Amino acid sequence: MMGSCWCKWKASNYRSSNTESELAKEEASKAKRKEELKKLPSNPKEVEDLRRCSATNPLIVFTFDELRKMTDNFRQDHMLGGGGFGSVYKGFLSDDLEERIPPVPVAVKVHDGDNSYQGHREWLAEVIFLGQLSHPNLVKLIGYCCEDEHRVLIYEYMARGSVENNLFSRVLLPLPWSTRMKIAFGAAKGLAFLHDAEKPVIYRDFKTSNILLDPDYNAKLSDFGLAKDGPVGDKSHVSTRIMGTYGYAAPEYIMTEKKKLLDIADPRLGDYPVKGFQKAAMLAYHCLNRNPKARPLMRDIVDSLEPLQVAPEVLSERTTLTLIADK
């Protein structure tokens, strides 16, 4: 009896000590995050001090009241989408708010109100990277809001939404081969620009939901919250951890299985050049090489995709395969 009581008491005492230790660690972690948050900019002046090209590439600093007016007080029917960061609304930048540019539709990305260290860092990364980079295949950052707890980004409006929506929507018309190759070409040019810049940038969040399309299906990379400076000078690499959404698996991966090449083509694709399809598939295969050093550079991907740009009217003059979707 005494032995049993003694063991029970010891176990209970151990659990109590262990719980106290975990609580102490949690409190220390919270204190550390608070200190880290204090080091991040809390107003526009501090943000501009961190930006490398604030003088040559100015951004508009908006007040939160101006954003309310632009989005009709963030009306639900103005919402374009959302995610772990918060919500995106369609707004309208009118001349009474900003005289330097004509009235244009914009996308207003509102980060959620938890004001976490990670959320603040990702918001700041977008301001810094998109505020200094300019390329036809990168979404344009117009301005931002850094007021009290509000962290907001204002982008150019991309009328056709994301590639993901266009590929999997049951409402939109299927994208033809020529448009898909145009999108792939544009996205590759955007990545090549980042990799070959004077100060290279590692994007770290390349997926169909982050590739946006303008009215003419020109592809532009968006969401630079996970971007990081790449190697410079004699350095060949930088250390980085695995990034992206935890537990995420691309829908394309889940919806497909091992098949013959022509069997994996989208059944809604319609006419497409067989040789072009085979070349595009082989290019994707090389990009997935298990040995990173054996993968092609993005500038080489761009060169390989350029010959695959086919005008729709040319398709009928080449060897094509027609796929008919199941009804």
Catalytic site residues? 205
The helix (H) or strand (E) run that includes residue 81 is strand 79-83
Give the span between the Cα atoms of 140 and 220, in whole angstroms.
9
Query: Helix (H, G, I), strand (E, B), or coil: what is residue 109?
Result: strand
- Between the alpha carbon of residue 280 and those of residues 81, 140, 194, 216, the distances in Å are 31, 28, 22, 22
Contacting residues for 122 by C-beta, under 8 A, at least 6 apart: 85, 111, 225, 226
Q: Which residue, among 325, 324, 276, has the nearest Cα to 304 in the 3D structure?
A: 276
Amino acid at 325: A
Phi, psi of 237 (to 5 degrees): -160, 165
109 labelled ligand-binding: yes
- Between the alpha carbon of residue 115 and those of residues 25, 111, 155, 201, the distances in Å are 21, 8, 21, 25
Structure tokens belonging to residue 48: 């501009």
The radius of gyration of the chain from alpha carbons, rounded to an integer in Å, stands at 25
Binding site as annotated, residues for ATP? 109
